[in-house]
Structure formats: C-alpha cells, structure tokens
Structure 1
C-alpha cells in the first residue's frame, strides 16, 4: 500500500490529537474517528464522510472521517480503523495530525464517465493512480466501477485501463521465453482446477508463477483455497525464490505489488457483488502481464446461473480478452467449459482443498468431474505453450497426474511456500433433503454460492457446502441433496433458512 507524501509542517493549527485505539474493523477502508465537538472539527469544518490526511510521525494516509460522541472519544483524542492503525503503526498516545485531503482532480474523470463520456489513456491512468495510492474512498471506487459496468467501456478504454493497472505497480520478469498461467473467470462453485493445472504444467517443465485473488462474489477463490493448504501471502522476492526452486508458485496477488489497484477495486466489487466485463478483463490480464506471463489459458464456464450465461456473453468477453491480449502481445487460449452445475463436491475453501488433494493424490474417491476438467485445461495449456502437439495435451496431462508427478510437484510448491497443511472440518453440519422423488434437472450455481457464503465461507475456511448430487441423478424423497457446513450455529441457521426458501436443486419427474 502507498502512503501520501509526508507534510513538511503540522497538519492543522490546533495541535495534534492523542491516538486512542478502539479496535474498530472496517476491513481495508481507512477511517479516522473524531469527537464531533473537538477543536479540529470546529476549526477545519470536518464532518462525517469528509476526506482528510492523517499523519503519525513520518507516515500518512488519506481517511474518511466518522464522528462520535464524548462517550467514545474526548475532544483531545482521535481513533483509527484497524487498517489505518496498522498502516500508520499507531500506538496509544501517539500524536495524530489531521488536515484537509488534497483535491482529487481525477474525480472529474469519474463524473465524466458517469455521464457516458469516453476516457483517454491519461484520464484512466490518473484514476487508477489515485485508487492505487488509496486516495479514493469506497464511495468513489464504487462510482467508478458502476460507471464502467454494463458495456460502458470501449475496447480501447479496456486496454488503457489494463495498462494503467499494470503501470501502477511492479512487474516481474523471467529469464525464459515462455511463462505460463491459467485463470478461470469464475461463477461456478467448487471449480478449483488451478492448483491441479499449475502442478501438472510445472511437472511438465513449464514456468508457472500463478497469482490468484481472494473471493469476490464466490464462497472461495483460488487464494482462499490455497491458504488452507499453505502460506500464500508471498512478496515478490519470496515468490521469485519459490518459482526458481520449484518452477511454480500459487500465491495471493494481494500480498504483491502487482496491479495494486485491482485488489482495491475487488474489495468494493465484493461488497457490490459486481463483475463487469471490462473490469474483469482488466483485472485478469493486468495481473498476468504484471507477473510476466506470456502464455495464458482462460477458462470460461458458460451456464444459465454462471457468471457467463450465454454464448453471446462468451463471444463478447472473448473479443475483449483477445483484443487486450493482442495489444500486450499475450498468447491467449480461451476455453469454454460447462457452467451448469458446481464442480467437485466441495464449495468453500477447506472443502475445495480436500477435493484438490484427492485429485492430485489420485484417490479412488476423488471427484471425477474436477479431475476430468483439470486434465482438459492442463492439456490445453501444454498445447498452447508448445509442450505437446495439438490434440495430445490431454493425454500427456493425464499421464503426469496418474504417475504422481503432479502430486510431487504440488507438495514441493507448498513446502517452498511454508509447508503443506491438512484442511480442517466444520463444527456444525445440516443436510438439505429432497422433498420429492425424481431426477435432478437443474442446480442453481448462484443459490449454492449464496448458501455457502451465508454458512460462513470464505471468512470461515471450513464453512461451505458438500454437494451430494449432480445433474441427471435420480433421487428419492428424503435423500440428501447437499450438506451445509458452518463454524457458527447462527450462520448455519441463516444458510439453512435461505436454502429452504430458495431451493438450489430442482427435481422433476423421471
């Protein structure tokens, strides 16, 4: 994270306030808490939601003002959200200086976009630079995301946004002409193929510095699942060491300074449950470009309740990905996969991690669909990178997996990142039963994902859903369709109530 420049003079004429920790968690949003009657508020005209510069010692940041009563803070005290406290390394009694935040000229560009105007490269660069420097509040970021959603970004703007996101952070370079990566656009619960594909590709001799995001609207992202199994918060130096030792890494992109604006955008996207095509393309490709990737396989599940719902949607997304990829000289392969139902049995970090381990270990009970899809995608990546001729990648990927080479490679990656751990299990469980006999005709991916999130995933890694049926299965009344897993009884109750009111599995007559 970037700090604002350090002021050369005291931030206001009223002297500093004394820091008092309150332990308020606002996730990653920086907030400063002031007594509404304090001298700083009166003299500077600060009110709730004002944007201010906060300085402690040589560290500073921009934060949003929240005002409180004297019960919490005296007129000589200030407090900070946990994220701001950590960033400023604040300790009780520290002198806190507060001043007006500098005006943000790039907000004019956001307003312009809201009214339908196109932004040029310099305008998008200004917006992204301010976001990466944490000068925007979540309200500002939400306005920018909404203004860019629903087809409001041209291909040129999407490419310029991608470039701006790359240039706002660091980039990695590797001493090999082919650097492979794989990404799934998401929308299908349990589709945790990336760890398996990376292990197969690395075992085949490819360099795969894989970075992944935490979940945005899903019950788990690849980084959430891998965090169950090993340490994923690697900095650039650590990631390079892991890749040089094992040929691959499975790291959380948020711990790196690669495309740093993306993680701030994702934080607000998560709250809005919003994924726009342009932002998705810029998010995916900026991370790949910054990581030094040259050959990227992109999995696009298509289904009625997936993120990409139709072939028309796929065509639009494919055109955007291919255009931006061409601008940056990336070799892309875009693979359509089945998005009609969850993949594997587990939905949620620990449950998905268990599925991944079973596939890599070639366990008899390993979910067949996850294994088959992982082999297909790994084979396509091997062909894209020239390891195999066209049509032979799947066979080679299956051979690498079956003889244990992928499992050995995965263990080596995890050991290099800090050690391989065993997934935990949830405390509370509840079965959702079929209310009639018949055949499973439809599984709603969005409702499965929502129920898993209400059960506590991904914040509680052990929470989520265990799927017991697949499309086409014949079931009898009273048979378990899926099992909710939770770490808190209240969350289990929320998820159970949602599942009862919004059935995710539709059963029709045989």
Structure 2
C-alpha cells in the first residue's frame, strides 16, 4: 500500500474551489479516515494543493486507485495524464484562530489580514471558514484602520503594475444598475485625450453582464500583464478581464463566498475596489455610485457613508479620488446582457441617431469628471472636452484601435430566440425593478450565453398603450427562453405602469 493515487480530470467546474473525488473503498480514505468535506493535501513533485473531498460510492464511475480532480484543482496542481499524487492531512491553517478572534469582535491588523489572505490563496481555508470570515466582517464590523489593513493585505498578495511614475486614470462603478456599461466609452474618450487608463474589469458573478463580458462580445479580454502593457503603451488604454492578472487575487475568493450570503459590508466593498485599483497602478480614481431603491446603494445616506470610507482609505493608499453620485432608479441604455450592452456601447461611440441618450450622457459625465481629476485638468472643462472627442469620432477610432490591439474587433451577434413582453394595460411607466429585470435576463442565459438578455423598448416616463411591447427577451435556446418567460409572467411590478391612460 502507498499514499499515492492516479490523478484523473473529473471534468467538473467548481469555479475557484479545488475539489478532489475519491472512491469510498479507496485504501487512503480508510487508512487516513478521510470523509466527505475533509480537507486533503495533494502533493505532485514539488507542487501541492489543498482540496475539499467529495466521496464517490462503490461501483460508481471512479476506480479505487484513482482520484479525480475538479477543473480548478487540476489546473492549480499542474497535473497531467499519468501523474500520481500523494495524499495526506494538511496542517491546520494559521489564520483560523484569527478568523475566530474577528468573529468574537476583536480587531485585526495588517499581519492578521495578510495571513487570512495567504491561507485563502493556498486553499487552506474551507468555504465554512471563509464564510465565517465574511460574516465577521459584514455590516460595519470593519472600522477604517481595518479596512486600510485589509486593502493593503489584498493588494500585497498579488502583483502591482508599475507605470514608471506616470499618471494613471481609472474608474469604477459600485454596480447594481443593469445596462450601465459606460466603461468602454469612458476608456475610449480618456485614451483619445492622451491619458493612460489600463482598465481591468470583472466578469459577472450575480449580474447579467460584467464589463469584461460585454467587452468580450467585441474583442478578446483574457490578456496577461505583458499583453496588457503592450496595449496600453500603444493605444493609451485597454478593457481587459482582471481575473487572469493576479491583481488582488484573493478578492474573487471572498466574492465567491460573499455573494450567496447577500451581505452588505462597507469595509469589504472598499477593500475589494481599492486593492484592485492600487494593484493596477492607478494614481487618480473616479468612483461612480448609482443610488436607487433597487440599486446596490439604496439611499443618499448609504452613499455618504460609503463615500467617507472610500475617501479615507484612498488617502491612506495615496490615491487621488473623486466620487460621482448618479441616478440608480432604472436601467441604463436598452440592452441588459453582454451582446445587447455591446450594441448600445457601439451605438454611442458611432454617434448613431438612435443611440441611447442616457448611456451617452452618463459616459460623458464620468469621462468629464475624470478629465477634471487629471493633473492637467481644468475644473469644469472636462465634459466639454469629452463631448468633443466623442462627437468628432476620435473616441470611436481609439476604441477600435484598442480592440485591434487586444486581438481584433468583432461585431456583436444576435440571439436565435426572441419574444416580446407586452403591457397588460395602458399607463405611465413609473418604475423599473433593477433586481428583477436583471434576474429575467439571467434566466434567459446571460452572461453565459453572450447574446442572451433583455432589450428594453420603453423608458421611465413613457406613456404606454395596452398591448404595447415593453421589452424583448433574447435567448439562445427555446428552453432558456421559456424559463425566463415563465418567471417574467409570474412577476408583477418589474415594470410598473400607472393605471391612468396615455
């Protein structure tokens, strides 16, 4: 008997959580006392990972002398066909006691947070332990010094891009507003103005589209740090997926656990945003905070509290920061979903007569504010400069150049399945529920299916006739279309119409 098993790929996507599958009759399971959910160390040559065990019943698909690895575990271990791994109990994570301390109300310093971040990246912490950490930090349980310490610990765990002391502009929206895809437009304007704006963005986790998803409908986004630098040096800006760049890499692990819990934590939100901005080498950052009853930031009071914390942590990190409070009452543009949002972005950049005016105006507000924030900016003149760059076609030309530098531009596609949702009665459109309209788009397949989502056909304040189309569902398959349609038809108040006639 040995402590090794043949490694095989399970072909199962567990996102960022390494998982190992072993037969219940495996001699290692019996001798080591491994059971379901046991944390297991797997060594292969000079590499190792810690994975969570799932036990496969006897006579099932896995032989007793094999261990199957999830996709993330296989990649992290660098396994190949024919490899054998050694299995053992891992040492208890050093940071477990720090998580318990925080759960009991103690304050942590940067060393404590750094230990938690390090154990997270090494997969030493189980999802239960990560959930305990996220819970212990929820609400207002992280004070200002702790938020600074966590931000620095998260940034320090990955690489930080060095731009040689040059001014680097960046922007971030705290989210919660479907269709608010201003980033590609802002990046194009800022780069056309001669500034550097290396924009790293996320893919959607719980929304119908992230900026990276929308950009990927037009150009490649999975660039490494060297390719990112080449694009920025050539064109002044980029819009790439940050997940492959090791910039604040622990953040995705925390988000993976935090999202299903649906906890609001000012400290963790600030640490998430600013650790990535600092890691990207930003010197001047604009934070957009849409405020609305169904947005992520639901009140002016909440926006004020978040702004105070963001400003304090930015000062501690040496970032020049500006805040932009925007209207978060209803979705922006017409499209909700990667391709549909990309179509809106291109319409604005191409100055199409039917381009969504609200998306254009929001992008100009943000680009103007960011130009004002730059060291050579003149207060109050940024928006006019941004408009001139957009209206002249300079922003469009720069966006196309950025796309080509990232691997080539492609026109967004169209969904195979579509159906219109009609008004049940006449009235004035008085509200849109951001959360539920986003859920419908997700049920239609977004963002996994790039062309899936919703195309809005009416705007707030429009008078609508009975039977008039309110929005159009887009899906790639009939099954996904039916799934989204069933939910949409079961809901009231997604789009609220007053009872008065038009």
TM-score range, shorter chain: over 0.9
Offset of 1:274 from its aligned partner? 4.4
Give the aligned partner of residue 373 of structure 1: 362
Match of 2:44 in 1: 56
407 and 293 in structure 1: CA distance in 2 versus 1, 3 angstrom threshold: same
Give the one of 346, 350, 355 matched to 2:335: 346
Query: CA-to-partner distance for each residue in 1:397-448, whole Å, 9 max, x for gaps?
Result: 0000000110111111111110111112112112121111010011000111
* In structure 1, distance between residues paired with 2:126 and 2:340: 35
1:409 aligns with 2:401: no
**Contact kept? 2:3, 2:87, Cα under 8 Å:** no
- 1:505 maps to what in 2? 495
Distance 1:486 1:406 in 2: 31
Question: 2:37·2:52 contact (CA, 8 Å) conserved in 1?
Answer: yes
Confirm whether residue 280 of structure 1 aligns to residue 269 of structure 2: yes
1:309-348 equivalences under 5 Å are: 309-348=298-337
Equivalent residue for 2:20, pick from 32, 45, 67? 32
CA distance in 2, matches of 1:177, 1:418: 26
Instruction: Give the structure-1-normalised TM-score.
Output: 0.95
- How many angstroms does 1:161 deviate by? 0.6
Give distance in 2, aligned partners of 1:346 and 1:249. Answer: 22
Secondary structure (helix, strand or coil) at the match of 2:428 reads: strand
By how many angstroms is 1:273 displaced? 4.4
Contact kept, 8 Å, 1:18 with 1:96, in 2: the verdict is yes
1:117 to partner: Cα distance: 2.3
**For each residue in 1:109-139, what CA deviation from the matched residue of structure 2 results, as whole angstroms up to 9, or x when unmatched?**
1122223222222111111111123322333
Taking structure 1 as reference, are residues 295 and 130 closer, same or farther at Cα in structure 2, changes over 3 Å only?
A: same
Counterpart position of 1:451: 440
CA distance in 2, matches of 1:88, 1:166: 24
**What is the aligned partner in structure 2 of residue 19 from structure 1?**
7
Question: How many residues end up aligned between the 2 structures?
Answer: 498
Does structure 2 conserve the Cα–Cα contact (< 8 Å) formed by 1:36 and 1:67?
yes
Return the alpha-carbon distance in structure 2 between the equivalents of residues 121 and 59 of structure 1: 28
Match for residue 152 of structure 1?
A: 141
Residue 66 of structure 1: aligned partner: 54
Aligned counterpart for 1:437 among listed residues 423, 426, 429: 426
Q: Where in structure 2 are the equivalents of 1:147-296 lying within 5 Å?
A: 147-296=136-285
Deviates more, 1:411-420 or 1:492-501: 492-501
Change (3 A) 1:15 1:126: closer
* Counterpart in the other structure of 1:426: 415
Deviation of 1:25 (Å): 2.1
* Coordinate RMSD, CA, aligned: 1.5
Q: Secondary structure at the match of 1:187?
A: coil
- CA shift at 1:353, angstroms? 0.7
Alpha-carbon distance in 1 for matches of 2:267, 2:205: 16
Equivalent residue, structure 1, for 2:34: 46
Contact kept? 2:333, 2:358, Cα under 8 Å: yes
- Following superposition, the deviation at residue 157 of structure 1 comes to 0.9
Residue 176 of structure 1 and its aligned partner are, at CA, apart by 4.2
Give unmatched runs, 5+ long, in structure 2: none
Contact 1:440/1:470 (<8 A) preserved: yes
Distance in structure 1 (CA, Å) of the matches to 2:325 and 2:263: 22
Matched with 2:470 is 481
Checking the alignment, whether the CA contact within 8 Å between 1:33 and 1:78 is kept in structure 2 is yes
Displacement of 1:343: 0.3
Residue by residue, what CA displacement relative to the aligned partner does 1:137-189 show, whole Å, maximum 9, x if unpaired?
33322222222111111111111110000100111111344210011000000
Work out the CA distance in 1 between the residues paired with 2:434 and 2:428. Answer: 18
Task: Give, in whole Å, the separation in 1 of the partners of 2:264 and 2:348.
Answer: 30
Mapped pair 1:107 → 2:96: yes
Matching residue of 1:117 = 106
TM-superposition CA deviations, 1:9-67 (whole Å, max 9, x none): xxxx7331122333222222111111112110111111110111112333321100010
Structure 1: distance between partners of 2:242 and 2:413:
24
Name the counterpart of 2:71: 82
Give the SS at the match of 1:316. Answer: helix
**Structure 1, unpaired ranges of 5+:** 1-12
Query: Are 2:350 and 2:393, in contact at CA under 8 Å, matched by a contact in 1?
Result: yes
Q: For 1:229, what is the secondary structure of its paired residue?
A: coil
**Alpha-carbon deviations, 1:353-400, whole Å to 9, x = none?**
111111111111111100011001100000000443211111110000
Alpha-carbon offset, residue 323 of structure 1: 0.6
Tell me the equivalent position of 2:297.
Answer: 308
How far apart are the structure 1 equivalents of 2:437 and 2:264?
18
CA distance in 1, matches of 2:300, 2:232: 37
Asked if the contact 1:47/1:67 (under 8 Å) is kept, the reply is yes
Q: Tell whether the 8 Å contact from 1:29 to 1:137 is kept in structure 2 after alignment.
A: no
Q: Are 1:216 and 1:273, in contact at CA under 8 Å, matched by a contact in 2?
A: no
What does 1:378-393 align with in structure 2 at a 5 Å threshold?
378-393=367-382
Distance 2:253 2:433 in 1: 29
Q: Residues of 2 paired with 1:484 and 1:396: CA distance?
A: 37
User: What TM-score results when the alignment is normalised by the length of structure 2?
Assistant: 0.96
Q: Return the offset for 1:275.
A: 4.7
SS in 1 for 2:450: coil
